Amino acid sequence: HDQRNPSPFWLLYVFVCVSSESRGQVTVTQPGIVSSALGGSVTIRCKTSQNVISGNFLAWYQQRDGESPKRIIYAASTRESGTPGRFTGSGSNSDFTLTISGVQAEDAAVYYCQSQHHINSQYFVSLWWTFGGGTRLEFGSDVRPTLTVLGPSSQELQQGKATLMCLANKGFPSDWSLAWKVDGSSSSSLEESRSPGVLGKDGRYSWSSTLRLPADQWRKVGSVTCEATQGSQSPVTETLRRDQCSQS
């Protein structure tokens, strides 16, 4: 097969095959976010559930905000014309990487890996092209957010409700997760909601999460804790004791 210039027949056939991806015959896995400082180096890993054709039928696409995706590497390691030398693809069979050395501001984008597979069925062999979910490259060094926990207002308690808010400010990257604990235990049975991350002018993100519970339950609580977690970084926690609130 010619990976660079597939015939119209193959393009049509590929579309039919990819539309059946929900059957779960081929999966492509890559991280949702990676981060790097300008001038640094970053590696994106792509794993496929089956070996690709010839061990190297794997391509990488770059999609900048507001632009269409463009292929930057094919056959696992071959750069397209115009792809800068700082982009390096490697790997074989089911495990591949894209490395950017000396990251530039223009490299901010989402990167997709695309694999090609032969799928055998009882009656024929089909060709599948499958994309990963994409990996967004963000710029900056890891920063732990600062947490603030706010208790319910007296007016709200009089209405039989209690809403607590956790504010997480100036963290990086954008995929920090917020979770609540009530008296040291998970609050999964309670109503929680979280706002999307907001990017500040300083390149850091802020989030908020709310926890809602009945006022009578709040009056039995000793403390609530908001916990922020991200990848391999150590968690950040902030605890509010109910007796710290002016109205309990």
Tens digit of each residue's pLDDT (9 = 90 or more) over 50-80: 898 888 899 999 999 999 999 999 999 999 9
As for how many domains the chain has, the answer is: 2
Listed residues 139, 169, 202: the one ending a domain: 139
In this structure, the answer to whether residues 63 and 133 fall within a common structural domain is yes
**pLDDT band per the 50, 70, 90 thresholds, residue 124:** low
How high is the pLDDT of residue 121?
62
Listed residues 139, 170, 191: the one ending a domain: 139
Considering only CA atoms, which of 108, 109, 102 is closest in space to residue 39?
102
Is 2 contained in some domain? no
How many helices (H) and strands (E) the chain has is answered by 3, 20
How high is the pLDDT of residue 206?
94
Distances (CA, A) of 53 to 57, 74, 154, 185, 192: 5, 13, 65, 49, 45
| pLDDT tens-digit readout, 87-108 | 999 999 999 999 999 999 899 9
Listed residues 78, 111, 139: the one ending a domain: 139
The number of residues making up the chain comes to 248
Report the CATH number at residue 161. Answer: 2.60.40.10
Is 87 contained in some domain? yes
In this structure, the answer to whether residues 75 and 16 fall within a common structural domain is yes
In this structure, the answer to whether residues 130 and 54 fall within a common structural domain is yes
| pLDDT tens-digit readout, 14-47 | 333 332 233 357 899 999 989 888 888 999 999 9
Domain that holds residue 193: 146-244
Is 208 contained in some domain? yes
8 Å CB contact between 152 and 181: no
